[in-house]
Each structure stands twice: as structure tokens, then as C-alpha cells.
Amino acid sequence: MRLGIIGLPQSGKTTIFNALTRGNQPVGEGIGRMEIRNAVVDVPDERVDRLTEMFHPRKTIYAKVTYSDIAGLGSASDKGEISGQLLNQLAQMDGYIQVVRCFEDPSVAHVRESIDPQRDIRLMDEELMLNDQIMVERKREKLAEEHKKGGGRDKAIIEREIALFEKLNQCLAEEKPLRDLEINEEEERILSGFGFLSRKPMMILLNLGDTQNAPDIRYEHQRSSIASLKGKLEMDIVQLPEEDARMFMEEYGITELGLSRIISNSYDLLGLQSFFTVGEDEVRAWTVRRGASAPEAAGEIHTDMLKGFIRAEVVGYQDLIDVGGMTEARAKAKLRLEGKTYIVQDGDILNIRFNN
């Protein structure tokens, strides 16, 4: 899972990046130029901790998420097409966290000279949609030319693609991101290689001041969510020694750092869930899409398991915790065998049987 952190200059993208990754990248730099910073972090999960206590493995591996701090968007007052290098980076993301400035700071000027979160959300979305509009127009022209010339692909296929791109064009003309558009399986296959920016899931992250409450912000789009974080405060906390950080959190009434909450929101946003493998060697969390079958989950572990899948031994996390171990789970019929059609549930513990 890779999430791109985007937003207007001086919105606090790098501050949020540092808070989420426990990093110490310099803030307030890179304005107006394309720059990418990446960090891979563990996904906090109390279930992994409990399973580690139960099995005492030699190794514990949490699920991972990659955050990418992306500078270079929204830098110009007159918006234009996104550069090829930046577009390539944006297209590789599974989704975006759009950092929106809500905090006041006289020492850090806002690029639009005033604090207006709803306006800033609109400006960033417009930049993404403008780039998609350019791509859609180019493809429509190519399809029209291909249809006119003939002699190549089946005209019925070309006509279906023309209809699809007309639908995309209409959606963008109505100033709606492409993620709002209902897409069937065939259309999804056609669009899979395009990397349209406004089709990707979007989390709006309101970057608050230390004592600020989140404003009432509307963002009524599909595959989207709104969260808030006191970015600078949380960045300062994660850079403190553990004991000092604990005291600081108590002083401000913070019961949970933003990393855990934002990761959880990210999973919801991207339609993901975790399953586990356990044993003396390793307790490990794996990430899979919601609705994935047991063979798909097996493929996340190793492609050979997908190809040779026979059965999966499955026990739910809570069932395992309630009975106290695998031996007890077998004795009390909580451990069951599931076939290829089984849909993996969040927190399932799997042991895959497969042919080598």
C-alpha cells in the first residue's frame, strides 16, 4: 500500500509526513520544485502484539505502508499540465492524502493569502482533474482517428471505448472527480493502465493548530474520507524520547497518536484488511483487499501457494484469543478447513495447504 501525501505549498505536507513516519525531514523546503520523499512504516496492530505474546516467535512482522511526501503540486498560480516526472510518481500511488491547511501562522504565509480549507480542497482537486481531462481528450482524439481509418481492431470494441471516454469526459465537465463514476469490470480493465489521478481514493487530512478544533468541511465523493490531525504537535511528540512523549500526550489529552488512526482510515479508504500467519518462526500480518478469496490471500504470501492452493486452515482472531491457542481451537472446532471460494475476513489466521 502506497499513499501519496499531496497538498498546496505551506499546507504542512512534510510535517504530516514526519508525524506519520516518525521522521525528521526539514519542513518548509522544496517549494515550487518536484521532490519525493518515501518512508515505509509498520502498521500498528494490537492483534499482532497479542499473537506474538501467544506464540513467542523468533520474528514478528507487521503489515507495511509506504508514505510518499510529494512536492511540486499546486505551486503555480496559473495551473497547467502536470510534468511527466511528477505525473509518473502520482500515477504509482494507490491513493492520496490531501493535506489541507487549517492552522494560522503569521510566520508562514499561505500561497493564497488566507486560510480557506474548502477553497484549497477545490484547487487541488481541480489540478488533478485538469490533468485527467487532458489525458481523456488525447485518448478521445486517438480513438476517433482509429475508428475513422478502420482496418485494425474490431469497430465494436473501439465504439465501446469511445462511449467510455465520453462518459469520463462528461464526468470531468461536471467538475466531478472520476472516482465518482460507476465503472463495470470491462471498463475497469480498459482504464487500468491509464492511472487517472482523480480516480484514486482520497483522504482529506485537515492539518490543525495545537489547540484547534476541526472545521466543518464537506467532501461528498466516492472512495473518499475526511480526517484531522494536529500535525506539528504530533510531529513534535514522535520526535521526543518515549517517556517525555507519554507525559506530553497526557498534558494535551491525546490517547492515541495519529499514525494508528490515519493508517486505520487508510485501510478503510483503500478497501483493505489484514490476515495473519502464526508459528514459532514468525507471526506476520498480511494485507489483502476486502472480498478476497482464500487463494488470493495465499498469493499474497507466495505465488506458489496461489497456483497450488488446496485448502486453508482458518481460525478467527477473536476465537483464537478466546480459547487460548491452536490446540484448544482444534479441540473446540474453532479451526476449520475452507476451500477456494472462501472469502477471507479481517483478522483471520490462515495456514495454507498447497501442492508444490
In a domain, 327, yes or no: yes
Q: Is residue 36 part of a domain?
A: no
pTM over 0.95: no
Q: For residue 289, what pLDDT is reported?
A: 94
| Predicted local distance difference test score (pLDDT) of residue 28 | 67
* Residue 43 resides in a domain: no
Domain annotation covers residue 344: yes
Within 10 angstroms of residue 62's Cβ, the number of other Cβ atoms is 17
Q: Please report whether residue 321 resides in a domain.
A: yes
Q: Is residue 343 part of a domain?
A: yes
| pLDDT computed for residue 76 by the predictor | 45
Query: Which structural domain, as residue segments, surrounds residue 347?
Result: 291-354
Total count of domains within the chain: 1
Whether residue 350 is contained in a domain is answered as: yes
Give the type of residue at 158: I
78 part of a folded domain:
no
Of the chain, the end-to-end C-alpha distance in Å amounts to 28
Would you state the pLDDT for residue 27?
Answer: 81
Mean pLDDT of successive 10-residue stretches along the chain, which has 356 residues: 92 92 77 77 92 97 93 60 82 94 89 91 94 95 90 87 96 96 92 93 95 92 94 90 89 79 85 94 96 97 96 97 94 95 97 93
> What pLDDT, on the 0 to 100 scale, is given for residue 255?
81
- The pLDDT, as a whole number, for residue 81 is 63
